[in-house]
Structure 1
């Protein structure tokens, strides 16, 4: 029994463990080669093909929707047209006046040249002449309501001094423009459709104009320079520029200063024209670049095209491509790319 316990059983245990180890080695290496005919499994490969889009025919309407504010039109400053003393204030603050109405009288002393007289003894002498007093009437330059009279009677004023302010009592709607919107409104329409939330039905706003307001600053001020390490082009298209669009509220529209308003401006439309997604074009005004795909080789070559209207989603192609041409759907190197592994909105 001692021989079995100390010699035979340990030897059998060693043999069993050796067989198990050999079997595991064969399963891990030998069987894989045998099942695959002695060849190694090929490494998987993924070939990503940039998505393409086709030039099609469609309609483009360049409509820009902005959020703005209703404001009182600025008062018109009336300046003195004569130098002298204020003789009479013809109106008071709050009075309604029409264009041409007298506001302030200014007494202007007109100097006269000295005269020469001959005395009885034959000598001559110079005789000074008293100045001639005339009244210069300063008149309103627009219809409205007198909002200020910053002068007093007997006050001395010079030509160009402000003697009154007249508010036209009209309203305007103004809205800030981003860089992209400013390019799309290079030729703004003469009218806009304005909607005041909670107010009247949408109405037509006239005298549309764009530009930097008085006292404003083009380029959005120093906000972009606050971070010296920030990318100067990041978000540039959607950044405010300091420019704004303004239109005049018609007299029969009910609105009040300080209310918010939505402006809708349509600056041109085209029907049955060649179009591409804006993601496929580098540039948006005048000319742009696309990457035209060769149908034979599949290679994409940079090609210049002539651009027309855009609605922010697609852009009109006026030259450089034909209907049916294939181009890369996304400009190479742009931030707008498609994830080929996306499986859904949460993937």
Structure 2
């Protein structure tokens, strides 16, 4: 056993270490990189941006708003004379036309004293009779047609010129709803009639005299809808602007001020036109851009100007700039709309 321990075993041990060293050198320097095909943590496919095509479809620009029924403000009537209230000609709740009498005011008239006649020194002294007071009657009339909402005077009450004495309600009801920036862009050319539905009330009815703009109360400054505060992180297209859409409720429709209303406005339609998803278009009114895909442009696409028409909130009409069947990016590059359906309006807002 002597030669085995002293010669054979050391030689075998040396051979084992040589084999280990050779294997390590092969793994470290000669073998190719690790095969990641079986590693689920490493992507094995090329990620490409979603794309769509320009196709033909119908676009109906219908804007649906949630608002309420409001009543036109009452007009204040002021006294046109100073004196004592005489006869009341109307009561609260009575209908009136412009110029109808509301009540009378008894106004004292100051007399101009005449020069006294020369006194007869021989005549006995007789006291002069007290002058008879003179008055005139002034009638305060309605300044607008409507219904007397309040009459704030009583007979024999003293009034001055300019005192508020009554209010007249025009009796005009309107459907009103706040507008966002996106709503206003879609209603640049609104019709004159909207369809209104009042939950629990009458069926849908046509509401006339449709108009958009800021209500008179907010014209002096400050945003009544937001209290003057603007959230710098809010999507501008979904932020209320302070403007309202209003239309007049026809006479005979049984609704009341304060009732909730849904207002539906169709501001144009186009049939069989070229369209693209709003998420693929940068811009909303007049002009915009899409990113056209072709072999030369690569996966990023080429920004291409287009002329825009109507939009229904999901698709926008393409009037010029690209042809039918053109491949375009489904989302505007660097847009928040990618993968977020809630940001669709922001995506096509540019």
- The two structures share one fold, judged by TM-score above 0.5: yes
The CA distance in 1 between the partners of 2:66 and 2:192, in whole Å, is 18
Aligned to 2:127: none
* Contact kept in structure 1, 2:104 and 2:137, CA below 8 Å: no
* Alpha-carbon distance in structure 1 between the residues aligned to 2:109 and 2:47: 89
Mapped contact 2:102–2:139 kept (Cα < 8 A)? no
Q: Give the length in aligned residue pairs.
A: 311
Change (3 A) 1:304 1:136: farther
Gaps of 5+ in 2: 36-41, 119-132, 341-350
Alignment of 1:1-347 (within 5 A): 11=10, 14-15=13-14, 18=17, 21-22=20-21, 24-25=23-24, 28-29=27-28, 32=31, 49-80=48-79, 82-85=80-83, 86-93=85-92, 95-100=93-98, 101-107=100-106, 133-139=136-142, 141-144=144-147, 146-152=148-154, 153-159=156-162, 161-216=163-218, 217-218=222-223, 220-224=226-230, 230-231=232-233, 234-293=234-293, 296-298=296-298, 300-337=301-338
Alignment check: 8 A CA contact 2:63 2:264 kept? yes
The 1:239–1:297 alpha-carbon spacing in structure 2 relative to 1, beyond 3 Å, is closer
Calculate the TM-score normalised by the size of structure 2: 0.72
Gaps of 5+ in 1: 37-42, 121-129, 340-347
Call closer, same or farther: CA 1:52–1:11 in 2, change over 3 Å.
same
1:156 CA displacement: 2.8
Q: Structure 1 stretch 304-313 or stretch 163-172: which is displaced more?
A: 163-172
Instruction: Give the TM-score normalised by structure 1.
Output: 0.72
Contact 1:142 1:166 (8 Å CA) reproduced: yes
Aligned partners of 2:257 and 2:161: how far apart in 1?
35
Pairwise CA RMSD of aligned residues?
4.0
Q: CA deviation at 1:63?
A: 0.5
Question: Cα distance, 1:61 vs. partner?
Answer: 0.8
Aligned mates of 2:322, 2:113 — CA distance in 1: 87
Q: Alpha carbons of 1:265 and 1:12: their partners in 2 closer, same or farther (altered >3 Å)?
A: same
Look up the SS of the partner of 1:158 in the other structure: coil
Shift in alpha-carbon separation, 1:321–1:158, aligned structure 2, 3 A: farther
